[in-house]
């Protein structure tokens, strides 16, 4: 396994500055944002696809620093009921696939998307309970009319370009846990796998170790995000985990995203790294920073140091299988 970083956290740096910073930090890989919600601060797929010289310069900038690209990421909602948003996120995805194919990058990361509740919706509709029965009808309509047709088409498109898609299970989208991830893969095609991010699982009371094993058994573990979640036990006891307050309202929220090691301790992350090793994951552990209690550099360096220590221990046999 190699260490990398999702580079959109360094959006204020130029491509060269960002790559120099990552290389100096001792990491081996970069995950590059290519559209969707995170944007594309270091890489415009359309520009690179239209200009072979720019494409080669981009590739050289990465490789000359001893780095590799673990994935192109365009986390978006191509199923959005707003047709313009859906169109742009769909184009971002397909252009990311085309660019990945040209660069020899095998993985493109995105979300599954979430439609509205009908053809007349203005906004996405994420269902969280089965009653009243209207909600079950919404889920059935979303999968039958929107999710399955779209991702079947994308599975064929992805295969044409020799690439695979890593869907990040994320609440608010139709794929948010192991069950929905495996359903998408079964219904739509085996080029569809997972970008595994424990931070979205912790607050749903899921066990990342179980998820890693189940998804790897299905051949669906494509990429891994290193991000943590801190649970506020008092707020959770009072209000539960379905929390719609702003991420900036940290003191009142039931949970917030944290730099790894600041939500769950070393023992938990030892078991996660061990599980990845156990199932034969040979990809990149990509640091994602969304900790509102730390600056970008502080969160990045703490996560990097934490992970380096764990992987060193694993390599010398100090992590024992759960």
pLDDT digits (tens, 9 = 90+) for 129-154: 999 999 999 999 999 999 999 999 99
pLDDT value of residue 313: 64
Predicted confidence band at 321 (pLDDT cuts at 50, 70, 90)? very low
Task: Look at the chain and report how many structural domains it folds into.
Answer: 1
In the chain, what is the greatest distance between 2 CA atoms, to the nearest angstrom? 58
* pLDDT surpasses 90 at 322: no
Q: Convert the pLDDT of each residue in 10-51 to its tens digit.
A: 999 999 999 999 999 999 999 999 999 999 999 999 999 999
**Chain mean pLDDT for the chain:** 96
Q: Let me know if residue 322 belongs to a domain.
A: no
Q: Is residue 228 in a domain?
A: yes
Instruction: Give the domain range for residue 131.
Output: 2-315
Helix, strand, or coil here: 108?
A: strand
Q: What is the pLDDT of residues 207-224, one digit of tens each?
A: 999 999 999 999 999 999
Count the alpha carbons within 13 Å of 72 in the hemisphere toward its beta carbon. 28
Quick one: CA torsion of 106, 170, 76, 174, rounded to 10 degrees?
100
Compute the distance between CA of residue 123 and CA of residue 120 in angstroms, rounded to an integer: 9
Residue 321 in domain: no
What is the pLDDT averaged over residues 64-79? Answer: 98
- Look at residue 103 in the predicted model and tell me its pLDDT: 98
Count helices and strands (H / E) in the chain. Answer: 12, 10
Q: Is residue 288 in a domain?
A: yes
Neighbours of 78 (CB within 10 A): 25
pLDDT tops 80 at residue 89: yes
Instruction: Read off the CATH number of the domain in which 73 is found.
Output: 3.20.20.150
């Amino acid at each position: 396994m190699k260490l990398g970083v999702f580079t959109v956290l360094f959006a204020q740096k130029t491509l060269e500055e960002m790559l120099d910073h990552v290389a100096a930090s001792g990491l081996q890989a970069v995950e590059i944002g290519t559209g969707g919600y995170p944007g594309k601060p270091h890489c415009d797929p359309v520009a690179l696809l239209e200009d072979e010289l720019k494409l080669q310069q981009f590739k050289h900038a990465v490789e000359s620093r001893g780095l590799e690209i673990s994935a192109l990421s365009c986390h978006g909602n191509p199923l959005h009921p707003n047709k313009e948003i859906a169109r742009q996120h769909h184009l971002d995805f397909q252009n990311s696939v085309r660019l990945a194919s040209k660069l020899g990058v095998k993985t493109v990361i995105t979300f599954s998307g979430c439609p509205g509740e009908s053809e007349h919706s203005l906004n996405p509709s994420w269902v969280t309970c089965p009653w009243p029965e209207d909600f079950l009808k919404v889920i059935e309509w979303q999968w039958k009319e929107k999710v399955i047709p779209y991702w079947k088409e994308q599975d064929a498109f992805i295969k044409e370009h020799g690439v695979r898609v890593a869907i990040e299970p994320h609440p608010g989208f139709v794929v948010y846990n192991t069950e929905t991830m495996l359903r998408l893969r079964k219904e739509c095609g085996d080029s569809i796998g997972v970008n595994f991010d424990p931070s979205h699982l912790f607050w749903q009371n899921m066990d990342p170790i179980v998820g890693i094993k189940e998804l790897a058994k299905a051949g669906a573990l494509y990429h891994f995000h290193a991000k943590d979640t801190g649970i506020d036990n008092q707020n959770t006891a009072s209000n539960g985990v379905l929390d719609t307050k702003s991420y900036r309202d940290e003191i009142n929220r039931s949970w917030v995203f944290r730099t790894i090691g600041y939500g769950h301790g070393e023992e938990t992350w030892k078991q996660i790294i061990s599980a990845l090793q156990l199932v034969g994951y040979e990809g990149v552990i990509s640091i994602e920073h969304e900790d509102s209690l730390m600056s970008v550099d502080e969160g990045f360096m703490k996560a990097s140091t934490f992970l380096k220590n764990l992987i060193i221990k694993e390599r010398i046999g100090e992590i024992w299988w759960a």
